[in-house]
Amino acid sequence: MFGVNQSKKIIKVEGMACDHCAKKIETALKEIKQVKSAKIRLEEKEVEVVLKEEIDNKILEDTIEDLGYQVIK
């Protein structure tokens, strides 16, 4: 059944300061076909990404960094 192999990734992000930042990142990540959802936790400085199928972390990280934020590894 499609979706059974969903996985979740937590990405630490520096530079998010407001709801506008959160929405910008969420929108960009949701445009990636493998991403089911993206939820920002501003206080924790992290993004929870639920995937429909596996994807290279670099794609997610590059998407965030292309918006001007720093991924903490």
Write down the domain spans for the chain.
Answer: 7-72
**Angle between helix 19-30 and 57-66 (nearest 10):** 140
Structure confidence at residue 32 (pLDDT): 98
Residue that has been written with the tokens 């596996």 in this structure: 54
pLDDT digits (tens, 9 = 90+) for 23-35: 999 999 999 999 9
User: 6, 5, 3, 11: which is closest to 57 by C-alpha?
Assistant: 11
- pTM for the whole structure: 0.90
Taking the domain 7-72, which CATH number applies?
3.30.70.100
